[in-house]
Amino acid sequence: MEITINSIVSDGNQVVTDVSITDGSLKAKAITFHTIENGLISKQTEYWPDDYPAPDWRKPWVTIQMRS
């Protein structure tokens, strides 16, 4: 299994991570919202979105990023 950190954003005790996960055949993405208390993660809310093309109304604001 390979996990790639795409981005980490934090503000105070809130952290958001965007990671890509693959087992070599399946690929997935996880967006996780973390709350940190006393140096430990006290709460997480995680989303595993599916890839899909942008709807027509949103296409003007979409930039496709190719990853190797």
Q: What are the tens digits of pLDDT across the range 36-68?
A: 999 999 999 999 998 888 899 998 998 777 665
Return the sign of the alpha-carbon dihedral for residues 48, 35, 65, 53.
Answer: positive
Question: 9: domain CATH number?
Answer: 3.10.450.50
Rounded to whole angstroms, the maximal C-alpha distance in the chain is 45
Closest CA to 29 of 56, 52, 12: 52
The neighbouring-strand residues paired with 32 are 17, 46
Query: Does 44 map to a domain?
Result: yes
pTM (2 d.p.)? 0.75
pLDDT at position 31: 97
Query: Does 13 map to a domain?
Result: yes
The parent domain of residue 35 ranges over 2-61
Number of domains within the chain: 1
Q: What is the DSSP letter of 25?
A: S
For residue 45, what are its two tokens? 């809310």
